[in-house]
A and B are shown apart, each in its own frame.
Chain A
């Protein structure tokens, strides 16, 4: 649909200019009348979908009220930017995490730690509302992580749910490489 450069044919140029102007301005006029799509955040809350990957948190067991985390350090090993640091505390019946630090300012929110957790201890929340002027507040320790877990609404994904969704029905696929 090539056309000769502007300035070549007077009447054709004029006609085309007028028509194209009219068409474009019609589109802008239509949008003038449409409702704006602005969401007045934070006055109105935004609806987060179920699987939203927000802040990270540690959870307690629903029945016993104990911490879910057994300090196995799987999340520490899989985290690509290595923001999680865990120390295990051995006890009689089960292990705990002695310290659990997560550097939220470097976190990628990739959900891999949630994916590997065997006890669904670490999960993500449906909120990202933790802006601060001091980056040190984003170096989360275990207490802070548990607080976040109680404060916001958790999103759908936990370790077991994710792995169940991904694992094919027959147990181990002989798909080529050994595990």
Chain B
């Protein structure tokens, strides 16, 4: 049998790996919604989904089936092409961010040597999809919410990037697996005080980038109902939800990688699957932390959100970054 050209083998290999990863991510996203619902319910003195399947374990499947079977309603005056494309433009960057995440040493789709740059750049592209959704819906509420969202995400991307750069400075490389490997001894969050503060700032920036309460002025349920998603139903809504939660998990994984020492843990040297498990557990810890904050606070007004970003978080993250850089520089001059 003639051998396939190396490009074709690579392409097929990448396709299969990507396919598997994508499906795993989608499966995880649906069950993360259940985790969030049950966690939030317990914090509110109630039980979450309980009846569908034992202790609600089949609830996400029921939700997915329901969304697939719904009628696809398009508002008459909506800008059809923009309206239909928006969920896809929103979803694709949120899925792409998993391409650079190394789930264990050697277990990843594409371990680029500018991994974190790719992550941050691609995840900023979801704003386009968001705004397309708000505009194409031909709905005042959606438009107001989309405008607020663009405002907010742009303001918070800067501190997010600066805080994400702190582990880069400490590890000396943009490649994500290098950053993870550099934390084998001690995860950066324990490097007091700068590491812990950086982790906290990362959590705040994540909340804002995800439009989670207290920064969820975008969806502001009681004012704007569902924000830019208000005119979407059925499968398109499912895609948008998928994208949101995938982005949520993606930033949780990134947080676990940058600050919590992705796959380091008791038995992680024996096999990559142990490393992947630890990575998953740490990412879920970050996710639950964000969820805990989300279900505890009231939201704040959009001008206050922007004030916090520009006057509080951006200076703080800049200061942290400069301090980290100084420490690293002093250490390296001291060593050699």
Question: Are A and B physically bound partners?
Answer: yes
Pairwise interchain contact B312-A28, C-beta atoms closer than 8 A: no
- Residues of chain A with a CB closer than 8 A to B113's CB: none
Count, A-B residue pairs, CB within 8 A: 50
B27 at the interface (CB under 8 A from A): no
Q: Cβ of A13 < 8 Å from any Cβ of B?
A: yes
Kindly identify, within residues 287 to 317 of chain B, every residue whose CB is under 8 Å from any CB belonging to chain A.
292-293, 295-297, 300, 304, 307-308, 311-312, 315-316
B35 to chain A, nearest CB (A): 13
Cα distance A10–B316 in the bound complex, in angstroms: 9
**Bound-state Cα–Cα, A21 to B44, Å:** 17
**Residues of B1-56 whose CB lies within 8 A of A:** 39, 41-47
The secondary structure that dominates the A interface is helix
Contact B45 A7, beta carbon cutoff 8 Å? no
CB neighbours (8 Å) of A29 from chain B are: 43, 292
Residues of B within 8 A of A6 (CB): 300, 304, 307-308
- Residues of chain B within 8 A (CB-CB) of A38 are 46-47
Contact call B315/A10, Cβ cutoff below 8 A? yes
Hey, which chain A residues are within 8 Å of B307, CB to CB? 5-7
* Residues of the A chain whose Cβ atoms lie less than 8 Å from the Cβ of B304: 5-7
B296 touches A28 (CB 8 A): yes
**A35 CA to B44 CA, complexed, in Å:** 10
Find chain A residues with CB under 8 A from B39 CB. 32
Which one, A13, A21, A31, A35, contacts B43 given CB within 8 A? Answer: A31
B300 surroundings in chain A (CB, below 8 A): 6
A-B CB contact pairs (8 Å), 29 listed: A5-B307, A6-B300, A6-B304, A6-B307, A7-B308, A7-B311, A7-B312, A10-B311, A13-B312, A14-B312, A21-B297, A24-B296, A25-B292, A25-B293, A27-B296, A28-B292, A29-B43, A29-B292, A31-B42, A31-B45, A32-B39, A32-B42, A34-B45, A36-B41, A36-B42, A36-B45, A37-B46, A38-B46, A38-B47
Q: A14-B312, A25-B292, A28-B43 are in contact. List 20 more A-B contacts (CB 8 A).
A: A5-B307, A6-B307, A7-B307, A7-B308, A7-B312, A14-B316, A17-B312, A21-B293, A21-B297, A24-B296, A25-B293, A27-B296, A28-B296, A31-B42, A32-B43, A34-B45, A36-B41, A36-B45, A37-B45, A38-B46
